[in-house]
Chains A and B, each alone.
Chain A
Amino acid sequence: MQWTDYISPLMQGAWVTVQLTVFSTILGAVLAFVFGIGKLSSNWAFRAISVAYIEVFRGTSLLVQLFWLYFALPLAGTAMGIDLRLPPVLAGVLALGLNIGAYGAEVVRGAIAAVHQDQHEAARALNFSARQTLWGIVIPQAIPEMMPSFGNLAVQNLKDTALVSLISLGDLTFRAEQIRNFTQDSTTIYSMLLVMYFGMALVLTAIMRGLERYATRWRTARS
């Protein structure tokens, strides 16, 4: 077998990696906003849940979270008489999204808290409600502050997807391992793996830069 024969199976794996990355990053972004805002909420229950979520998922490793969702949750479900077996893809997306969301929530919280008090006062003087102030005034100004960190987290997330191969999900790393077991051609396969992950990271970085430019276009407007 030649290296060109590896391309097709590796591309299949890469497609799974892309899907995992996209879905878990979107899930992570939603969770980041919900719990980042929650941590600043005046409602103590919402605040407590947000703090608990952020601390638990930042304080334990992604691998343990993944194993827990995939192996332990179904057993806990059996004990309670409910079926909590998750398909590997769902377990992977959930674990990755929950993990990246916890880090993202801290980014969202920090960026929202950094918006100047003056802006809150101007909003109050114009009689905006608390919700209108948050979504119309504060968050649009906080998003540009979040974007560089979000870009880093998204790339981190892409690299973390390799862990899901441990629950037999056919992602890029899993496929590479399969071929390697079969051919023993470690050097070629791992080199290709490296290049493919790097390529995907480049594309992802470019996408995040694009989003960042979009979110900050008001800052760079020229007369």
Chain B
Amino acid sequence: MSDPIIKFDKVVKRFGDLTVLDALDFEVMRGEKVSIIGPSGSGKSTVLRILMTLEGIDGGLVTVGGEPLWHEPGPDGLRPASEAHLRKMRAQLGMVFQQFNLFPHMTVLRNITEAPVKVLGLSKADAKLRAEELLERVGLADQAQKYPHQLSGGQQQRVGIARALAMRPSILLFDEPTSALDPELVGEVLNVIGQLAEEHDLTMLLVTHEMRFAREISDRVCFFDQGQIREEGTPEELFSDPNEDRTREFLKAVLD
């Protein structure tokens, strides 16, 4: 089997006295679709935020595509990553946020074209073409000229997905993408994510409370508890026949 595209090796993350990740080991294969479930405060977002370089680590090693993320090679071994190294590494990753985090002062189209133009150096015309294709794909072709506040939450989140995809990441991180949505808008966003899950090359990490959806689209489900992976397996194994009491309790609580 090929090397993992994401690897956490004994990763420690603390906030003050609170140890959020305690020597976490975690691997994701290229093209794999992994769902992360678990109680609030168990460190799920922290894992994604470390990968997106929004949080540093206090111990261990994270590698992405075989290269250390938060470190780079120096004269005597690894040293903390420079901003230049982080920028290079970040190009492989994209993130979809719980609160969408769209840029409110830009139209939908600008939200999607801004980074490809300024960061990747695409021409405005190429970026627009790319954005229109993506808007088509998420079903918002007719909303390009609107501002985010003119859209529903579900539409905003679909723009958020298109915006991340416009950078052509090989790894896409979703942090509870439907948790901020009214129930009737959840489906349209899950549909889009479900389509992405069919893409062979795209590696997906999805933190979610939508158990049925996670079961449908994931190759593997990880149950996080207190900064550790308490249990992982195929959706069948984990949802139908969990080994651990903690997993069973959690599933019982969320499925009821």
Binding site for B on A (CB under 8 A): 118-119, 121-122, 124-129, 132, 136-137, 140-141, 218-219, 221-223
- Which of B87, B102, B149, B163 sits near A127, CB closer than 8 Å? B87
| CB–CB A127/B91 < 8 A | yes
Q: Which of A125, A126, A128, A223 contacts B146 (CB 8 A)?
A: A223
Q: Which applies to chain B's interface (DSSP): helix, strand, loop or mixed?
A: loop
Partner among B97, B106, B118, B164 whose Cβ is within 8 Å of the Cβ of A128: B118
Residues of A within 8 A of B104 (CB): 141, 218-219
Residues of chain A contacted by B106 (CB below 8 angstroms): 218
Indicate whether A128 sits within 8 Å of B101 (C-beta atoms), given known contacts A121-B54, A223-B150: no
Q: Quick one: closest A residue to B90, CB to CB?
A: A127
**B150-A118 in contact (CB<8A):** no
Given contacts A126-B114, A129-B87, list 12 more A-B pairs with CB under 8 A.
Answer: A119-B101, A124-B90, A125-B93, A125-B97, A127-B87, A127-B119, A137-B103, A141-B103, A219-B104, A221-B146, A221-B150, A223-B150
Which residues on A sit within 8 Å (CB–CB) of B149?
Answer: 219, 221
Interface of A is mostly: helix
Q: Which 10 A-B pairs have the closest CB atoms?
A: A122-B101, A126-B115, A125-B95, A118-B101, A218-B105, A140-B105, A223-B150, A221-B147, A127-B119, A127-B90
A142 to chain B, nearest CB (A): 10
> Per a CB cutoff under 8 Å, which of A128, A140, A141, A221 touches B115?
A128
> Closest A-chain residue to B88, C-beta based?
A127
Task: List the B side residues contacting A218 at CB < 8 Å.
Answer: 104-106, 147
Tell me if B6 counts as interface (CB < 8 A to partner A): no
Who on chain B is nearest to A126 by CB? B115
Please report the C-alpha to C-alpha distance between residue A122 and residue B112 in the assembled complex, in whole angstroms: 12
A127 contacts across to B, CB distance below 8 A: 87, 90-91, 115, 119, 167
Which residue of chain B is the closest to A141 with respect to CB atoms?
Answer: B105
A-B contact number at CB 8 A: 65
CA distance A125 to B51 in the complex (A): 10
Shortest beta-carbon distance from A127 to chain B in Å: 5
Expressed in whole angstroms, the minimum distance between the Cβ of B168 and any Cβ of chain A is 12
Contacts of B114 in A (CB 8 A): 126, 136
Q: Cβ of B54: which chain A residues have Cβ within 8 Å of it?
A: 121, 124-125
**Chain B residues near A137 (CB, 8 Å)?**
103
Residue of A nearest to B147 (CB): A221
Asked if B52 is an interface residue, CB under 8 A from chain A, the answer is yes
The size of the chain B interface, using a CB distance under 8 A, is 28
* Contact indicator A125/B118 (Cβ below 8 Å): no
Note all chain B residues with C-beta closer than 8 A to A222: 150
Residues in A whose Cβ lies below 8 Å from that of B99: 118
Question: When each residue 121-150 of chain B gets 1 if its CB lies under 8 Å from chain A and 0 otherwise, what string results?
Answer: 000000000000000000000000011011
Interface residues, chain B, CB within 8 Å of chain A? 52-54, 87, 90-91, 93-95, 97, 99, 101-106, 114-115, 118-119, 146-147, 149-150, 163-164, 167
The residue that B97 contacts in the complex, of A122, A219, A221, A223, with Cβ under 8 A, is A122
Residues of A within 8 Å of B94, CB to CB, are: 125-126
Docked Cα-Cα span, A132 to B118, in Å, equals 8
Q: A128-B119, A141-B104, A218-B147 are in contact. Are A118 and B97 (CB under 8 A)?
A: yes
Shortest CB-to-CB span from A57 to chain B, Å, is 31
Residues of A within 8 A of B115 (CB): 126-128
Q: How far is the CA of A103 from the CA of B29 in the complex (A)?
A: 55
Smallest CB-CB separation from A132: which chain B residue?
B118
Cα of A222 to Cα of B53 in the assembled complex, Å: 36
* 18 A–B contacts, CB within 8 A, in A order: A119-B101, A119-B103, A122-B101, A122-B102, A126-B164, A126-B167, A127-B87, A127-B90, A127-B119, A128-B115, A136-B118, A141-B104, A218-B104, A218-B105, A221-B146, A221-B147, A223-B146, A223-B150
Q: How far is the CA of A137 from the CA of B115 in the complex (A)?
A: 11
Most A C-beta atoms less than 10 A away, residue of B54, B104, B105, B163: B105
Complexed CA–CA distance, A122 and B96 (Å) = 9
Chain B's nearest CB lies how many Å from the CB of A185? 53
